[in-house]
Amino acid sequence: MAAPIGNVVIPGDSFSLMQLKTPDEHKKILLGPGLKEEDTEIKVLRPGILRYRKPGVYWVDCHHKRYVPSKGDSVVGIVNQKVGDMFRVDIGSSEQASLSYLSFEGATKRNRPDVKVGDIVYAKLLVANKDMEPEIVCIDSYGRSSGMGVVRNGGFLFHTSLNLARKLLNPQCVLLKSLGNRFQFEISVGVNGRVWVKAGNDIQTIALVNTVIASEFKDNDQIKEMCKRISKAVSRMEVD
């Protein structure tokens, strides 16, 4: 019996190595969230749908609202506190993440970045350990910002489920592209379920937020249809 790809798995389920498709003799299988290697078996830790991607990536797709930090994730956080050289940033995890003032592009000891309490930052997780405080940075390994840093100039931040945030960033999802064909806007999606949207005016921003929230359980065709309807409605409102 092969591993039940695309089916529901429950914590405690286990498969042996034989049940998994191996990509190659020399390549390793990548176990994503919800799966753990134990002895010679693979145990399921979360209830959800078992997913597989070539070449040899397995993970469990399940509904989340609480963000669990993992290394390399891009998140949207809110600066809550300034403690000495660090900022405490709320990224939705059980503990606040720390962000050093030196981990901004062009920041030096003398030249501090302009970050205030209440600012929204787009950052990457550098340290994500279950026993330690997560640490985020706003630069890549070359010291460039590459799109990270403080997100300024208004806009609207809202919280979604983690699934929706991932759906928005999935290459197969058409929502942002079809909205982009109709509206002029900017969006920052963190995999921690925080989404920041800014459009030309308030009507558009509200419409975009509602569209994003409504798209959680819609497929691509329904999303296209909805985008068409929304853009019509918005253009009518703007005329009035």
Partner 1 sequence: MAAKQSAHLSKNVLQMKFMQRSVLRMEKEQNEEERQKIIDDEHWALDLQEYKTKESDFLENQSYTTCEELLFGRQSYQGFNPEIEKLMKVHSEEKEAQKSEQKEKEESVGDAEMAQRYSSLMGIIAKKFTKKRQRSEEKSNQNEDDEPSRKKFMKPSE
Q: Which stretch binds partner 1 (CB under 8 A): 111-119, 173-181, 214-222, 231-239?
A: 173-181
| Residue whose CB is less far from partner 1, 86 or 185 | 185
> Residue 191: what residue type?
V
Q: Mind giving me the DSSP string for 43-99? A: EE-S-EEEEEETTTEEEEE---SS----TT-EEEEEEEEEETTEEEEE-SSSS-EEE
**For partner 1, which is the closer residue by CB, 71 or 82?**
71
Q: Is 38 exposed, middle or buried (0-12, 13-18, 19+ CB in 10 A)?
A: exposed
Q: How far is the CB of 1 from partner 1 (least distance, A)?
A: 19
Q: Which part of the chain contacts partner 1 (CB under 8 A), choosing from 97-105, 106-114, 134-142, 178-186? A: 178-186
**Binding of residue 224 to partner 1 (CB under 8 A):** no
Query: Contact between 42 and partner 1 (CB under 8 A)?
Result: yes
Burial bucket for residue 18 (CB in 10 Å: 0-12, 13-18, 19+): exposed
Asked if 134 touches partner 1 (CB under 8 A), the answer is: no
Q: Which of 89, 126, 138, 187 binds partner 1 (CB under 8 A)?
A: 187
Binding mask 82-111 for partner 1 (x = CB under 8 A): ------------------------------
143 is a site residue for partner 1 (CB under 8 A): no
Contact (Cβ atoms closer than 8 angstroms) between residue 125 and residue 75 = yes
